[in-house]
Structure 1
Amino acid sequence: MKIIYTFFFSILLQTAFAQSAENYLEKIRNNEADLTAFFAQMPKGGDLHHHYSGSIYTEPLLAHAIAKDFYLNTQTMAVSQEKQLGSDWVLFSTLQKNGELDAYKQKIIQKWSAKDYNNVDYPSDKLFFESFMKFEPATQGNFEAGLLEIKNRAIKENVSYIETQLSTIPCDIKTDDLATYNAYLRKLAATKNEKAVMKSLDSLYAIFIQKDAKKYAADFNTNFVTKMHAALKIDDSQFTMRYQNFVLRFMEPVDLFKNLVVAFISADSSPLMTGVNIVSPEDGETSMKDYWLHMVMFKYCHSRFPKVKYAMHAGELTLGLVLPEELSWHINAAVYIAGANRIGHGVDMAYEDKSYDLMRYMAKNNIPVEINLASNEFILKVKENRHPILLYKEFGVPIVISTDDAGILRTNMTEQYVLLAKRYPTISYIDIKQFVYNSINYSFIQDARVKKQLVQDLDNRFKAFEANFKN
């Protein structure tokens, strides 16, 4: 009897502490400094919409490029390990010798990230997406330092899990002899002939398997991810990391499908590789032209690998960015055709055809939306009541809060919750706590024991956090 009494007393006490935390949050809603202190200490669970390369801050990437004496294009601020054509490419050691390095450091940071952006000089979406290719050479051969930076920063701000979109998988299967499929697939897509597309993908799949697609997946899993993950001791009692593969929307259909097949094989054969994604600007010319075709490709790969989970960037669009009618179907297609397990961004939901039915379907089938407040504001200029987060909440769609590209955006997970609490006063502390638990419960972690341990850890972290408000 005493044990039962102690258990119920503990539950009542914890409920009282949670209510005190709720009361305190309401008291500080309009004070960003207070909110920052509150959310910095609050457990934040997982970051599920997280790009590895975009989450590393510019300073360590730049330091690596300087230490390795890369070439800098003094006009574009791109770097390269090799000398490129043109007189604009200069070694960092030459800039340092000439006393110009410090001045270029500032210019580089401004081109590789949102630092000092003034909303005037250059379109924010172009700056964001162009930055990746400028600093990409500095990430190559530097994954270990980047992963440790991400892990250590997560631990300091009470993030216990990250599911990062790590890399495309290197694959040199030649596709020159398959080029005729590109036009043929697009012709079929123009008439939405899904049956014929699936038949063509069947032929391509057989070719890629014959050309050793499995070998590339196995090599990536074993010799890159597994070895690096173990050597760095990424997982420990404070933190866990898993990885997504991704494909690039701007590629020609055959090459994209080749990479998608390898990505699905990789995710199907390694517990560390938890899923697959598709990235690059959604409003890009090829992205828009091939969007429906990409959805069918995901549907096809799911039929081959039904256990593999996948999140999809969908609806990262807004009025004025594309033709109005193009806002009406991307999330629909990602959910109904591709069968996405999570939706990334989902900003254009209010414009989607039969959006109420779509959100009811997402809620019923537990398809969460990954909300990226700082990212959506910088790239799309969508914030506050233009953002559909309250629409998703009203229809019961599971919500997770994430950073997207914290390094480029000069943000962190704490700021996402500050923006959430300040901008949306109808979202309560209990709601926010649910969003945190969603970030573990809707993760793609394959091992049920690992997920259970992360939930238990979250329980303990919240107990300790809410005890701060017992008085």
Structure 2
Amino acid sequence: MTRIITLFCFFIAQIGFSQTAGDYLDKIRNNEALSTAFFQQMPKGGDLHHHFSGSVYAEPLLERAIAEDFYLNLETMAVAKTKPSTGNWQTFSSLKDEGKLSFYQQQIMQTWSAKDYNGSVPSDDLFFDSFQKFEPTIQGHFAEGMLELKKRAIAENVSYIETQLNIIPCDMNVSDLIDFNSKLRQASAQKDEKAVLKLLDELYKTIQQKDAKKYATDFNTNFIAKLQKDLKIDDEKFTMRYQNFVLRFMDPVDLFKNLTIAFISANDSKLVAGVNIVSPEHGENSMKDYWLHMVMFKYCHSRFPEVKYTLHAGELTLGLVQPEDLTWHINDAIHIAGANRIGHGVDIAYEANSYDLLKYMAKNNIPIEINLASNEFILKVKDGRHPFTLYKEFNVPIVISTDDAGILRTNMTEQYVLLAKRYPDVSYATIKQYVYNSINYSFIQDASVKKQLLKDLDSRFKTFEEKFSKN
């Protein structure tokens, strides 16, 4: 009898210790230390919403500026390789000689990133203004940054990154086309799509005559492919692809010129996964020309139908813009531009006919790129105010991503920690689906590469989950 009781107790104990990864997550999701350890080890697939320059941490950028003795603007904390003609600039070596270097190092870290953020400036201003301040330290040093991102990704079990590396350099003279700026904006103000498309057709032909393809070819061959090969970026643990992007604040002719070249580049290279548009969505030109930009994407898609593109859309919230400006950005990105994915999509609840829009996204498999840390810092949107649950309720495909991990002082692991803690109804199985979404909805052109990443993900999850089944 004693032996039977002993065996029964042992059996009960075994049941207590036998658990799945999902069981364990449900127990620890409110404990950030435990869930961080869990998600650090969990395979996380890909990071599809990823700005290269904003993802490199500030420490190596600052070290580089000091080592190369850049000039520092003592008011703005911007750096420059040569001394600008205006402003209060001083070299890092002179600051070191004066015993002031450590003081300014701290100021720089707080200006180039969210480190020790204290609310002294609006968070969106700090975020968007930081890029130009540290940009001189990026130029000529893409290799170091790419290797940093690869190393960090492998360390936290991210197997794929789709990053926006650099704008395509272009010195094409379009001064003879400047009249198209006013013509395009006039037609745009009337929402005359037919007139806009006709003007874009004229512009496109002229840009092609100015040898747009050579800029795309040079970028693909001498920048993207060269870095990829020299650094041996792709291996059995990691894969990287690239998105071309254009800047929202540019005037229409310059933006369309760059967009045309970006599409040519993506069309001609398997390493360039797609195209995007960046810069603050609430900026003056961004708001004024938003509809026009969507028509430009529609036009380029008609020329290059195989090229994929994801669009930053709806990175807005009540108070940042007028209420009426929250009602149409995601709609236009999908219904006019024909976006394959949407980045951020924070204003979805305010969009006109939002239920119909969400149903359309779900039916047509248009994923939403959710960036929890970014939306919290820049827009002050989190928890129940964040539309994550709205997308989930309507079965819109979801991918979890970082946005700008360096500026935000975050990583991919933290995105899943936030997700699990803030949304307790999201099961482990659902989180696992989001991970697979990040590969399935990637813009990888080579089917064999995507297939291998999915196979690798299967193997990684099997190894990860066995840790719990063996307890």
Letter in 2 for 1:130: D
**Alpha-carbon distance in structure 2 between the residues aligned to 1:300 and 1:18:** 57
Name the residue aligned to 2:349.
350
The 5 A counterparts of 1:182-331 are: 182-331=181-330
1:434 counterpart residue number: 433
Paired residue for 2:465?
A: 466
Distance 1:67 1:361, change over 3 A: same
- 1:458 & 1:165 partners in 2: Cα distance? 23
- Of the structure 1 ranges 29-38 and 289-298, higher mean CA displacement relative to structure 2 is found in 29-38
Aligned counterparts of 1:49 and 1:87: Cα–Cα separation in 2: 35
**Partner Cα distance (2:68, 2:202) in 1:** 45
> Counterpart of 2:155?
156
Residue 71 of structure 1 deviates from its aligned partner by 0.7
Q: What are the superposed Cα offsets for residues 92-149 of structure 1, whole Å, 9 maximum, x if unpaired?
A: 111111111111111000000000002x311000000000000000000000000000
1:42-61 map, 5 Å: 42-61=42-61
Between the aligned partners of 1:141 and 1:91, the Cα distance in structure 2 is 20
- Following superposition, the deviation at residue 39 of structure 1 comes to 0.2
Q: 1:6 maps to which residue?
A: none
What's the CA shift for 1:86?
Answer: 3.1
Residues 258-316 of structure 1: CA deviation (Å, up to 9, x unaligned): 00000000000000001000000000011000000000000000000000000000000
Note the 1:115-130 alignment, pairs <5 A: 115-118=115-118, 120-130=119-129
Q: Equivalences for 1:436-451 in 2 at 5 Å?
A: 436-451=435-450
What is the Cα-based RMSD across aligned positions, in Å? 1.0
Structure 2 regions of 5+ residues with no counterpart?
Answer: 1-16
Cα offset for 1:231?
0.2
Secondary structure of the corresponding residue to residue 69 of structure 2: coil
Distance (Å, rounded) in 2 between the aligned partners of 1:284 and 1:91? 33
Instruction: Quote the Cα distance in structure 2 between the aligned partners of 1:160 and 1:410.
Output: 20
Superimposed CA distance per residue, residues 16-43 of structure 1 (whole angstroms, 9 cap, x where no aligned partner):
x997111111111211111101000000
Aligned equivalents of 1:208, 1:69: Cα separation in 2: 40
Query: Which amino acid in 1 is paired with 2:467?
Result: N
- Percentage of identical aligned residues: 72
CA distance in 2, matches of 1:166, 1:367: 23
- Quick one: distance in 2 between partners of 1:207 and 1:81? 36
**Matches of 1:396 and 1:175 in 2, distance apart?**
45
C-alpha distance in structure 2 between counterparts of 1:218 and 1:99, whole Å: 48
Aligned to 1:88: 88
Taking structure 1 as reference, are residues 87 and 188 closer, same or farther at Cα in structure 2, changes over 3 Å only? closer
Matches within 5 A, 1:61-76: 61-76=61-76
Normalised by the length of structure 1, the TM-score is 0.95
| Aligned-residue offset at 1:87 | 5.2
The residue that corresponds to 2:21 in the other structure is: 21
1:416 aligned partner: 415
1:132 equivalent to 2:131? Answer yes
CA distance in 2, matches of 1:344, 1:194: 24
The 1-side partners of 2:166 and 2:300 are apart by: 19
Matched residue SS, 1:431: helix
The residue that corresponds to 2:373 in the other structure is: 374
* Counterparts of 1:160 and 1:381, CA distance in 2: 30
- Residue 230 of structure 1 aligns with an amino acid whose one-letter code is K
Is 1:395 the counterpart of 2:390? The answer is: no
CA distance in 1, matches of 2:238, 2:199: 43
Hey, what's the Cα distance between the residues in 2 that align with 1:19 and 1:129?
A: 45
CA distance in 2, matches of 1:209, 1:283: 31
Per the TM alignment, residue 65 of structure 1 is displaced from its structure 2 partner at its CA by 1.0
Q: Deviations over 1:387-426 (max 9, x none)?
A: 0011001101000000000000000000000000000011
**SS in structure 2 of the partner of residue 167 of structure 1:** coil
User: How many residues in Structure 1 have an aligned counterpart in Structure 2?
Assistant: 454
Q: Which runs of 4+ in 1 moved over 3 A?
A: none
Counterpart residue identity of residue 287, structure 1: S
Say which SS state the counterpart of residue 20 (structure 2) adopts. Answer: helix
Partner of 1:106: 106
Letter in 2 for 1:97: D
Measure, in 1, the Cα distance between the counterparts of 2:331 and 2:18: 37
**Secondary structure of 2:171's match?**
coil
Amino acid of the residue matched to residue 126 of structure 2? L
Give the match for residue 5 of structure 2.
none
The one-letter amino acid paired with 2:37 is: A
Q: What secondary structure sits across from 1:114 in the alignment?
A: coil
Residue type at the aligned position of 2:202: S
Cα separation, partners in 2 of 1:199 and 1:87, compared to 1, 3 Å: closer
Larger radius of gyration: 2
Q: Do the aligned partners of 1:18 and 1:466 also contact (CA within 8 Å) in 2?
A: no
Distance between the aligned counterparts of 1:93 and 1:368, measured in 2?
49
What is the alpha-carbon distance in structure 2 between the residues aligned to residue 198 and residue 101 of structure 1?
54
Query: Please, what TM-score do these two structures have when normalized by structure 2?
Result: 0.95
Query: Given residue 66 of structure 2, which amino acid in structure 1 is its aligned partner?
Result: I
The residue type equivalent to 1:219 in the other structure is D
Q: CA deviation at 1:462?
A: 0.2
User: Using the alignment, how far apart are the partners of 1:44 and 1:420 within structure 2?
Assistant: 13
